[in-house]
A and B are shown apart, each in its own frame.
Chain A
């Protein structure tokens, strides 16, 4: 049950409901601690891996859900498991590699050994030595396995939850969001093209807000606007699930890029740019329908990026209230030809810590954090596109932010 915790953390949401966001949500350590418990450790599915990262029995990947280190494994039977990266004995983090393959996990401290499902296989000196020491007679291996998480897999994407009573992943994502999820993850085999990792000095929620906010995309991202990759004058939409916790931004590439018009005159930063080497940006249609950008956010830790031919999972790992790590896994399909792989790699220049688009975001999020943190008692205003939280058939709106905070307040009891 979600007890109202206002009094516990000594915070009260300001007047104006979900059209206002108090700045203390971005910097208060007690709010952050409550988020770990209620959001990342609570009833949610966090993205943890792609199946193609651990294709073989014995494969594992280490990752994090919020603050909590976990390991995702494929066991001898080929099943996927998620366990905490913490020995059941004295808490040592036993797995230190991003990816690997093993028959068992052995804690380096006292060599407790676990199988890939997290079951404790053995404890050295359990019966002591020469009738001295050893574990008590009633010590049972089966009582001391690694803490297990609930796992859900859909079309090659692995999610995990600390809440063993979670409904199905499909119910959690909901039918409308599932349609967009399945657009990219349509059952074809996936192939990792590589990783990119960055530490962004801002609260994790600002990243979600950024992707849920198409209002800024048409203004701040000069590169996107100038090359017609995301423009408010294109047919577009913001859609959500029934709760408002998940959302998508849908946009279409402008026909005549870089042509100034009535819309771009509102965009003060629009510049008439021409690439000297346009091979960087030569998108090829690959998905049904006419949307060329679909950015999906799934509560609480993942952004699924499809901008032209560049596909990536952007996983957020929290690092206290004032920073988070953005872990990018760029991927394509197992059946991509060399030409398509090259396109994806070239267009990846838009994304990541050096990206022509994404670097704008990581920089501005830092500006946000240093602007917000010293003023915890002031508030942000989110009224673009009205005060409601319904789907909207355009992108001149902050509706998905309102819906996000509506859900956030419910989960947090604020």
Chain B
């Protein structure tokens, strides 16, 4: 069982990630990852069947930066707010400075002149490494339950 202090630090790191996305500070999103990070958004059915296809598959911090630039400059999309809710943040393993952390998430979406709806829910399956006094994601797998993405997935989860 992780110490209370470590649990608190990890929860703070997770909250900061969510706050960055929900506040729309997209440029800062890649800074939560190591340079050769893996970030994938995966439909649960693919994950369950060991099928390798991901809805987003980025294999470096620079690919995450490319996503940010394309959201800002190339991808046509309706304006929207996203809001993340996190729960069940749990450190499953802590070995040699590498943590396996899992969490549940719920993301709500609000489109122009529309009521807020559930956009996605699922699990974060993460590998987190220590970085100075803080942490970085070495790998973040976002495995979503939703059988159908409500139209488009523009912003990262």
Contact = CB atoms under 8 A, between A and B. Distances in A.
A275 B74 CA distance: 12
Contact of B153 (A271, A279, A353, A360): A353
Nearest to A353: B149
Contacts of A275: 62, 66
B154 A354 contact: yes
A40 interface: no
Interface string B142-157: 0000011111111000
Interface stretch (A123-131, A153-161, A198-206, A247-255): A198-206
A363 B77 contact: yes
Interface of B: 41, 43, 45-46, 51-60, 62-63, 65-66, 69-70, 73-78, 147-154
Contacts of A354: 41, 55-56, 149, 152-154
Most chain B CB atoms below 10 A, which of A201, A352, A360: A352
Interface stretch (A187-195, A235-243, A376-384): A187-195
Contacts, number: 121
B78 A198 contact: no
Given A195-B51, A220-B76, 16 more contacts: A193-B52, A194-B54, A195-B45, A195-B53, A196-B55, A276-B63, A279-B63, A341-B52, A345-B52, A345-B54, A348-B53, A348-B57, A349-B57, A353-B151, A354-B149, A360-B77
Chain A interface main SS type: mixed
A223 B51 CA distance: 27
Given A193-B52, A345-B57, A363 B152 contact: yes
User: What 4 pairs between A and B have smallest CB-CB spacing?
Assistant: A194-B53, A194-B51, A277-B62, A276-B62
Interface of A: 98, 192-201, 220, 222-223, 226, 269, 271, 273, 275-277, 279-280, 325, 330, 341, 345-346, 348-349, 352-354, 356, 359-360, 362-364, 366-367
Contacts of A200: 151
B75 A196 contact: no
A353 B53 contact: no
Contacts of B147: 197
Contact of A201 (B55, B57, B74, B151): B151
